[in-house]
């Protein structure tokens, strides 16, 4: 294909509404992309509160020596991330609490 054929093809597209077809295709692709990306966003409302997540962590560490102090609580994805510390027992850690059922998914503990 040479330059003249290319310009003829372009002029045919313009003549028969090719620009409108391209606009429609781009619009459909953009809308599809937005729908796919918004459908992948699973930020549902948690069924348990931040206070309940704190309480779950406190109860799970109550059997240990000393008093557990909650340092921070954050919510990411479908879980609460609760950071805690027990100075008397010289340990600290992070517990991951499922925001739907309140179960501890994972826990990390370190002892000095």
Of 21-25, 79-83, 95-99, the range with the lowest mean pLDDT is 21-25
Mean pLDDT across 10-32:
76
Let me know if 58 is exposed, middle or buried by CB neighbors in 10 A (0-12, 13-18, 19+). middle
Q: How confident is the model at residue 20 (pLDDT cuts 50, 70, 90)?
A: confident
Give the pLDDT confidence of 31-54 residue by residue, as tens digits.
Answer: 888 878 776 655 668 889 999 999
Average pLDDT over all residues of the chain? 83
Long-range contacts of 41-48 (CB under 8 A, 24+ apart): 42/77, 42/78, 44/78, 46/75, 46/78, 46/80, 46/99, 46/100, 47/99, 47/100, 47/101, 48/80, 48/97, 48/99, 48/100, 48/101, 48/102
Q: What is the pLDDT of residues 8-18, one digit of tens each?
A: 655 665 666 66
| Distances in whole angstroms, Cα of residue 91 to Cα of each of 58, 88, 94 | 14, 8, 11
- Percent of the chain exceeding pLDDT 90 equals 46
Instruction: State the pLDDT confidence band at 4, using cuts at 50, 70 and 90.
Output: very low
Provide the percentage of residues in the chain whose pLDDT is more than 70: 78
């Amino acid at each position: 294909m040479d330059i003249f054929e290319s310009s003829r093809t372009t002029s045919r597209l313009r003549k028969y509404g090719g620009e409108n077809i391209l606009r429609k295709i781009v619009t459909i692709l953009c809308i599809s992309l937005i729908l796919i990306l918004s459908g992948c966003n699973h930020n549902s409302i948690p069924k348990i509160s931040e206070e309940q997540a704190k309480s779950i962590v406190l109860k799970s560490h109550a059997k240990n020596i000393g008093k557990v102090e909650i340092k921070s609580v954050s919510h990411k994805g479908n879980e609460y991330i609760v950071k805690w510390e027990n100075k008397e027992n010289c340990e600290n850690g992070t517990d991951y609490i499922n925001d739907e059922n309140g179960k501890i998914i994972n826990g990390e503990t370190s002892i000095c």
